[in-house]
Amino acid sequence: MSEMLRTLLSIDTFKNGRGPRYLQLRRLIEDAIRNGLIKPGDALPSEREIASRIDLSRVTVRKAVQDLVRDGVLFQRHGSGTFVAPKVGRVEQSLSILTSFTEDMASRGISVRSVWLDRGIYVPSPEEFVALGLSANERVVRIARLRIGNDEPLALERASLSAKTLPDPNAVGSSLYEALEKTGMRPVRAVQRISAALLGEKDAELLGVTAGSAGLNIERTSYLASGKVVEFTRSVYRADAYDFVAELRLPPTAATKQEEP
Ligand code: 16G
Mean pLDDT of the chain: 88
Residue 200 φ/ψ, nearest 5 degrees: -75, 170
Does ligand 1 have an atom closer than 6 angstroms to the CB of 216? no
Does ligand 1 have an atom closer than 6 angstroms to the CB of 148? no
3-state DSSP percent of the chain in helix, strand and coil, to 5:
30, 30, 40
Rounded to an integer, the average pLDDT of 216-229 is 96
State residue 107's pLDDT score: 84
Q: How far is the CA of 237 from the centre of ligand 1 (A)?
A: 11
Rounded to an integer, the average pLDDT of 3-24 is 73
Residue 250: CB partners within 8 Å, gap ≥ 6? 258
State residue 78's pLDDT score: 72
State residue 91's pLDDT score: 81
Q: How far is the CA of 49 from the centre of ligand 1 (A)?
A: 42
Q: How far is the CA of 79 from the centre of ligand 1 (A)?
A: 32
Q: How far apart are CA 79 and CA 46, in angstroms?
A: 11
Q: What is the pLDDT of residues 173-204, one digit of tens each?
A: 999 999 999 999 999 999 999 999 999 999 99
State residue 118's pLDDT score: 97
Q: Angle, to 10 degrees, between the axis of helix 21-34 and the axis of helix 58-70?
A: 50
Residue type, 207: L
Say how many residues make up the chain.
Answer: 261
Q: How far is the CA of 250 from the centre of ligand 1 (A)?
A: 29
Start and end residues for every CATH 1.10.10.10 domain found in the chain: 3-84
Adjacent-strand bridge partners of 121: 141
If one residue of 157, 180, 231 were mutated to test the ligand 1 pocket, choosing by the most ligand atoms within 8 A of its CB, it would be 157
Q: What is the pLDDT of residues 133-189, one digit of tens each?
A: 999 999 999 999 999 998 889 999 999 999 999 999 999 999 999 999 999 999 999
Closest CA to 112 of 62, 50, 174: 174
Query: In the Cβ-directed half-sphere of 45, how many Cα atoms lie within 13 Å?
Result: 22
Share of the chain above pLDDT 70, in %: 90
Does ligand 1 have an atom closer than 6 angstroms to the CB of 142? no
Q: What is the pLDDT of residues 54-80, one digit of tens each?
A: 888 999 999 999 988 877 788 887 777
pLDDT winner (highest mean) among 44-53, 151-160, 205-214, 240-249: 151-160
Start and end residues for every CATH 3.40.1410.10 domain found in the chain: 91-245
Does ligand 1 have an atom closer than 6 angstroms to the CB of 231? yes
Q: CATH number for 3-84: choose from 1.20.1510.10, 2.60.40.60, 3.90.79.10, 1.10.10.10.
A: 1.10.10.10
Rounded to an integer, the average pLDDT of 217-245 is 94
Residue type, 134: L
Does ligand 1 have an atom closer than 6 angstroms to the CB of 218? yes
Q: How far apart are CA 162 and CA 140, in angstroms?
A: 5
| CATH code, 91-245 | 3.40.1410.10
State residue 224's pLDDT score: 95
Q: Are the C-beta atoms of 38 and 84 separated by less than 8 Å?
A: yes
State residue 252's pLDDT score: 80
State residue 162's pLDDT score: 97
If one residue of 100, 166, 174 were mutated to test the ligand 1 pocket, choosing by the most ligand atoms within 8 A of its CB, it would be 100
State residue 258's pLDDT score: 66
Residue 152: CB partners within 8 Å, gap ≥ 6? 40, 86, 87, 88, 208, 241
For residue 1, pLDDT over 60 is answered with no
Q: How far is the CA of 98 from the centre of ligand 1 (A)?
A: 9
Does ligand 1 have an atom closer than 6 angstroms to the CB of 114? no
Q: How far is the CA of 77 from the centre of ligand 1 (A)?
A: 27
19-28, 34-43, 135-144, 172-181: least confidently modelled range: 34-43
CA distances from 32 to 6, 7, 105, 236, 241 (A): 11, 11, 27, 29, 20
State residue 232's pLDDT score: 98
> Could you tell me the pLDDT band of residue 234, with boundaries at 50, 70 and 90?
very high
> Could you tell me the pLDDT band of residue 253, with boundaries at 50, 70 and 90?
confident
